[in-house]
Structure 1
C-alpha cells in the first residue's frame, strides 16, 4: 500500500519515515512488545492504516504524513524518554501514542513542557484535562455507568472486582463501587494483581470467585494476565451465563488470542464492536481486511484510526502543526467514523461517543444488547453518577 509504515523487527529504536519532501512529521509511540503489546499493536495498526489512507489520497495540502515510529516496550520510563527524543531530536510536535494511564502520565509533563500535542485513543478513568491532549477514548460516563446499570438490571447485585495494580483499574473500580453501592448493590471482594500477574495468583483469584459465587465479575486486568484469567475461568468450570466477566477492555483481538470458544457469554461495554451495521464501518472493515487479512479490528484499532483522520481534517484547516491552532480546528471538524459521526467536545478535549454493551459470541465477535439512543457528551470529572439519563428502558439493540 502506498505510504506504508513499518517498524524494524529487531531494532530497539528504529524510526522508519516515508520518503516525502517536507512532509507533516508526526510521532507514533505504541508498544509492540511487553505487557500491553497486544492492545498497543492494535493501536499501531489502526494508526498505520489511517496514515496510509490519508497519504494515498494525496496527503494534507499536498504533503504526506511523515511518521517517526518508536516502540516503548510497555515501559513508562521508555515512553517518557522516547517522547522527549521525538520532540527534541526528531522535529516532532504531534504524537499519537500511549495506552495505559501510567504511560500517558509519564509523557504528559514532556508534552506540556514542549507545548506539543498528544492524541490519546485509549479508554481511561477520566479526572484529567490538558490543553495539550486530545482524548478520543471513552471516559466512565460513556462506558462504566452504562455497564453498572446493565449488570444491576440483568445479572444481580453482588459484584466481584479484580484488576491490575495501577491507576486505571483502581480508579475504574472505585467508580464501579460507588455506582453499584449507590444503587443497592454490594461489592463482595476487590483484589489487585501485578500487571503481568503470575498464573498461580490468577488461579487463586478464580478459585475465590468460584467459592464466593458473585453475580458478576468486573475485571480490569490487562494484557497477558487478563487473557490467562479468562482461560482459567473456563478451566475451573465457571459458567459465563451464570457468572459473566464484564470488562471495558476485552475486545475482538484478545478473544481470538484467548480462544473464542472460551469467551462466549462474557460482556463488554464499548463504543465500538466490529459487528456494527454502519456503512462507515463496512468501509473501514473492507480496508482493514485488505491491509491486515483476517486479523480482527477492535475498539483499540478503530479509535486509533479515527483520531488520525480527525487530525488530518483539522490539519487541512490549519495548514500548520501549531498546537493551539490544531486544537481549535479539531473542535470544528467531524469524522464519519466506523462507530458513527465523531467529534471532540470543546469544553474538555474529549470525544463525544455512543455507549454500547455487547455479549461475546462463541466465535469471538460481539452482539450488541444495548445501545445509547444518542451520543453522550464526555464528563471526565464525573459530576453525576445518575443512571436515568442513559435510557436503559426499552433501549435494547
Structure 2
C-alpha cells in the first residue's frame, strides 16, 4: 500500500514537473515588449496613435515569423499624462513584466522621469518624438529629431525669402523642459543671425491650457513691429484651442505664419484646417510624401485602424512620431536578430549602424555613437484637408547634434552615450 502510494505520488510529481516545464517553454516562446504611452489625460491626443502604431508594427513582425523564431508580446500600460507615473510604470514593465524593451514617452518631462529607472535597471527605451537634445543615454535610442534636425532648419526657412523673410519671432510653448530648452537654443541661434532680443518674444502656457485669446491678440500686436513668425512648441490638446483662436481672430499665414514642432496630421484631425492653410510644421516625415514604401505604410495603417475599429478609423492618418515608432521597433527587431539575443548590452551593440528603408523615402541609419537616427528634414504647409504639402526638405538624412553648438560648453561634451548621472 505504501509502495503504491509512493508510485502515485512520484507519478503526480513528475506530471506537475512536466507541466511546469511545458509552461516555462511556452512562456519563453514570446518576447515581451513594453508600450509606455499616455492613453488618457492631456497627451492622449498625441500618444494614443503611437500605442496603436506599435501594436500594428508588432503584428506585422509576428506575421513574418517574429524575432529569432519567437512572437512578440505587447505589454501596454497607461501613465495617464502623469509624469511621476511614467517612472512607476516603467519600473513595472522592467521588473514585473520583464519586458526586453520599451517603446514610449512623448514629452521630455516624461522621458526624464523614466530615464533614471532605465539607467538603474539597464533597461532599453526607444523614444520616438522630436526633443530638445542635451541628452545622450546608453539606455535610450532616440528615433525623433534633435534641434538641428527640426527647429534650426525651420527657423532658417522662416528667415529665407521662400519662407517669408521673418525678422521678428514669437516663441510660444508649453511650460516644460522641451520648449524652454529648444527656445534657449533658438534664441542663441537668432542672436548669431543678428536678431536682437527686442525682436524675440517668449511666452509659455501650462499643459492643458485652453484660453489663447489674449496670447493671439499679443501676437497680432507684436507683429505690428515688423515681419513676424510664430514658433510653436505647444504640446498636447492645447493645440486645438490655439489654432481655433488663430482662426477666430483672423490671423492668417499670409500675415503671421506659424511653424509648429508638435503639430501633425493627428492633431489636425479635430480642427477645421481651412482657416489655417499655409501655416507650417517641421518634421522628418509627412503622410503626403510620395513613394512606394509610404504608400504601403499608409494603406496598412488605414486597414489596421479599420480592422481594429479604432476611434476615427474612417479618417485615420499617419504622422512623424508614428513613423519614428515604426522605424524604431523594426530597428530593434533587426538588432535582436543580429545579436541572436534580447540581452540589452548585446542589442545595444547590434543597434549601432542599423539601417531601415523608412516611409519618409529615405534609408535611415542609427548613429554608431550618439544613439540618434540620421534623418531628413521636411517643412510642410497645412492644406484644407488637414494634410501637408512639403515646401522644403534636405537632400538627404542629416546627423543629429544632441549637444547643440548654440549652448555654451557643449563643445566639450562627449559625442557618445554616457549615463545621465
Q: TM-score, normalised by structure 1?
A: 0.89
Give yes or no for the alignment of 1:57 onto 2:64: yes
**How far is the alpha carbon of 1:384 from its aligned partner?**
6.3
| Counterparts of 2:244 and 2:257, CA distance in 1 | 13
| Counterparts of 1:51 and 1:376, CA distance in 2 | 28
1:3 counterpart residue number: none
Q: Which runs of 4+ in 1 moved over 2 A?
A: 19-22, 184-188
Out of 376, 381, 384, the residue aligned to residue 403 of structure 2 is 381
**How far is the alpha carbon of 1:289 from its aligned partner?**
1.3
Give yes or no for the alignment of 1:83 onto 2:83: no
Q: Helix, strand or coil: the match of 1:257? A: coil
| Counterparts of 1:275 and 1:40, CA distance in 2 | 21
1:125 counterpart residue number: 132
2:419 counterpart residue number: none
Q: Deviations over 1:157-190 (max 9, x none)?
A: 1111111110001011111212222113343311
| Counterparts of 1:188 and 1:62, CA distance in 2 | 56
Give yes or no for the alignment of 1:203 onto 2:217: no
Give yes or no for the alignment of 1:319 onto 2:319: no
Question: Could you tell me whether the CA contact under 8 Å between 1:143 and 1:355 is conserved in 2?
Answer: yes
Question: Could you tell me whether the CA contact under 8 Å between 2:150 and 2:283 is conserved in 1?
Answer: yes
- Identify unmatched segments of 5+ residues in structure 1: 1-18, 386-397
Which aligned pairs between 1:120-199 and structure 2 lie closer than 5 A?
A: 120-153=127-160, 154-155=163-164, 156-186=166-196, 187-199=199-211
State the aligned residue count. 365
**Over aligned residues, Cα RMSD in angstroms?**
1.5
Question: Could you tell me whether the CA contact under 8 Å between 1:33 and 1:73 is conserved in 2?
Answer: yes
Q: Deviations over 1:243-283 (max 9, x none)?
A: 11111111011112122223311111111001111211111
Out of 108, 111, 114, the residue aligned to residue 104 of structure 1 is 111
Question: Could you tell me whether the CA contact under 8 Å between 1:148 and 1:179 is conserved in 2?
Answer: no
| Counterparts of 1:373 and 1:66, CA distance in 2 | 38
Out of 351, 357, 365, the residue aligned to residue 379 of structure 2 is 357
Question: Could you tell me whether the CA contact under 8 Å between 1:72 and 1:79 is conserved in 2?
Answer: yes
Give yes or no for the alignment of 1:276 onto 2:289: yes
Question: Could you tell me whether the CA contact under 8 Å between 2:185 and 2:406 is conserved in 1?
Answer: no
Question: Could you tell me whether the CA contact under 8 Å between 2:31 and 2:100 is conserved in 1?
Answer: no
**How far is the alpha carbon of 1:20 from its aligned partner?**
7.0
| Counterparts of 1:267 and 1:121, CA distance in 2 | 21
Question: Could you tell me whether the CA contact under 8 Å between 1:20 and 1:64 is conserved in 2?
Answer: no
Q: Helix, strand or coil: the match of 2:79? A: coil
| Counterparts of 2:77 and 2:276, CA distance in 1 | 33
Larger radius of gyration: 2
| Counterparts of 1:256 and 1:45, CA distance in 2 | 16
Question: Could you tell me whether the CA contact under 8 Å between 1:285 and 1:297 is conserved in 2?
Answer: yes
Q: Deviations over 1:376-395 (max 9, x none)?
A: 0111102369xxxxxxxxxx
| Counterparts of 1:176 and 1:195, CA distance in 2 | 21
Give yes or no for the alignment of 1:238 onto 2:248: no
Q: Helix, strand or coil: the match of 2:75? A: strand
